Amino acid sequence: MQQSELASQSSAMMHDGETPPAPLGRRIVVNATVVSAVFAAFLALEWISFIHEYKGLPVTPWNPGLGVVFAIMVYAGPTAGLILFAGVVASEAFVLDTDLGWNVVLSLAALTAASYTAIAGLVRRTLGLDSRLSHLRDVLILLCAGLCGAVASGTLLTALLVGVGTLDWPDVWNASVPLVIGDVIGIAVVTPLLLRLVIHRHHFDPLQIATFVSETLLLAGVIMVALFVILVRDGGGGHKLFYLLFLPVVAAALRRGLDGACVALATAQLGLVAFLHLRGYNTQVFTDFQTQMLVLTATGLIVGVAVTERRHADRVAREAQARAKQKESEAAQAARFNLVSGMASALAHEITQPMTAARALARSVQHILRTPGGDLKRADTNLTSMIAQIDHAGDVLRHVRDFLRRGAPQTSTIDVHTVVREAMTLVQADAAARKIAIKVTADPGLPPLHGDHVQLQQVLINLVHNAIEAVASTGRTGTVQVATRRSDDPCGVEIAVMDDGPGIAPDMVDRVFQPLATSKHEGLGLGLSISSSIVAAHGGRIWIHSAEPGQTEFRVFLPMSPPATM
């Protein structure tokens, strides 16, 4: 039973596009490997990132190791805080070589881990942070979480050191401000970058990677030039020119969305730290630049996620539009089948008549040919009539087949009279069966149209079929009139369908073209809605000219030139 359940779970996960869970032993090895890698990365980044101690506090305006661990907390859960605790202890012991006692070191590590663990748990469970950071809300929550965690951690750490006498109150500002800025900038730069890498880890395309790498190298070059101008050429007054970094960062955000912003910010941050370190700037100058870098980071992330969100919304809209068109096509197909289903018996009668006549003519010809001295002229006449009857039946079948076909719209030059004639061929049998006369009046000078022959034919059949059913519902004979004429607009054609049925109920007039709106017991409520969509796609319009009993009239206007988007 257990094996069956595991197999079904694995199959379901693979069906959803996810990787099935590995066996327990392998999962432990993978988790241990990840923990070891994160722990090693934390220590390496602590060593690399220009850390110096200020009375027991690891004061640095750049803390990328914290950003790495916080990304794991946000993605995998707050239990990753244990890595942060162990990393802080190891960093104090082996990287900073602190003189603090072990009780103070363990307290510092516990307070740091507890602060960020609590914040990570809050944003995951209470605020519902999405680790994909695909929305502006998630990026803002992450930035606020980094700020709150840094303030909480900095406050607790300085309070602890003041309490044990290591730090004096006048030193609190000098120690806590760089610490808070370093933690916030570490989370703001590194955490989004790692989270986006995790999201894309299964979607790397070699060509896309090559393009992205080439763009990143170009971006890095521009950023290095900007940093050179800011920190070297300006002779120490680089604060005035720091805005130059906004240009490549915002450009990357506009080009690649949040991913581009993350890469640009990481490149700018690494370059800034390297330049400041090589130039030998003191902690105060370092902190001033990192404060500006924090503003740049927030700006770049917000622009990047706004671009990503907009592109995602556009993609969703395009997919929804494609699905809507597909559904509309399926609905049109269903409506056509529904129409033909209703006319099936009448069509069968329409086909049976010419075939019966053709059979009788064929027997007559056979009898003439078998009779010595038979009338060959009469036989030829009968054969001609028989061929005409067979052609008529074939035309009916061809029109039905064309009407039921499904596929992409086939736009071409259309003769209005041909559309009307073929549509009447399909509805004539149904009208005759219900003893309803169809009268067609056509303006002989109508210009050709450009559109989909079958779709326009469906519009006309829908209107005439509805008129036939309306007249038939009165239980008496009646008339349906179809008129084609030039519109008052000289660049279009107007088609009118009139009947002497019971009219349209007032409560249906305003919603007759809405989907699923129908007054017929067996109607789908799709015919007029689809007709309206087809006419609109051709750049025309359809409306009720009269809803009165005995003089109901629908009109359709079609321009000679359809919209370019058709």
Instruction: Tell me the per-residue pLDDT of 267-299, one tens digit each, with 9 for 90 and over.
Output: 999 888 888 877 777 777 878 888 889 999 999
Question: So what's the pLDDT on residue 372?
Answer: 82
Question: So what's the pLDDT on residue 4?
Answer: 41
Q: How many CB atoms lie within 10 A of CB 495?
A: 26
Q: What percent of the chain has a predicted confidence (pLDDT) above 90? A: 19
Please state the rounded mean pLDDT for residues 71-98.
84
Please state the rounded mean pLDDT for residues 344-363.
67
Question: So what's the pLDDT on residue 521?
Answer: 46
**What are 256-269's pLDDT values in tens digits?**
899 999 999 999 99
Give the chain's mean pLDDT. 78
In 127-140, which positions are buried (b, 16+ CB within 10 angstroms) versus exposed (e)? eebbbebbbbebbe
Cα distances from 75 to residues 87, 114, 129, in angstroms, run 18, 17, 10
Residue 539's contacts (CB-CB under 8 Å, 6 or more residues apart) are: 558, 559, 561, 562, 563, 566
**What are 107-158's pLDDT values in tens digits?**
989 999 999 999 999 998 899 898 889 899 999 999 999 999 999 998 998 8
Model pTM score: 0.58
**What are 509-546's pLDDT values in tens digits?**
777 777 654 555 444 455 677 778 778 888 888 888 88
- Please check the confidence at residue 19 and state whether its pLDDT lies above 80: no
pLDDT band with cut points at 50, 70 and 90 for residue 32? confident
**How far is Cα 305 from Cα 307, in angstroms, rounded to an integer?**
5
Report how far Cα 405 is from the mean position of its chain's Cα atoms: 30
Written as six digits, the tokens of 424 are 């009447």
**How far is Cα 326 from Cα 293, in angstroms, rounded to an integer?**
49
Report the sign of the C-alpha dihedral through residues 112, 117, 118, 120, in that order.
positive
Please check whether residue 559 is in contact with residue 539, taking contact to mean a CB–CB distance below 8 angstroms: yes
- Please check the confidence at residue 556 and state whether its pLDDT lies above 60: yes
- Please check the confidence at residue 250 and state whether its pLDDT lies above 90: yes
> Can you tell me whether residue 292 is helix, strand or coil?
helix
Question: So what's the pLDDT on residue 60?
Answer: 66
Which one, of 51, 256, 258, lies nearest residue 142 by Cα?
258
pLDDT band with cut points at 50, 70 and 90 for residue 6? very low
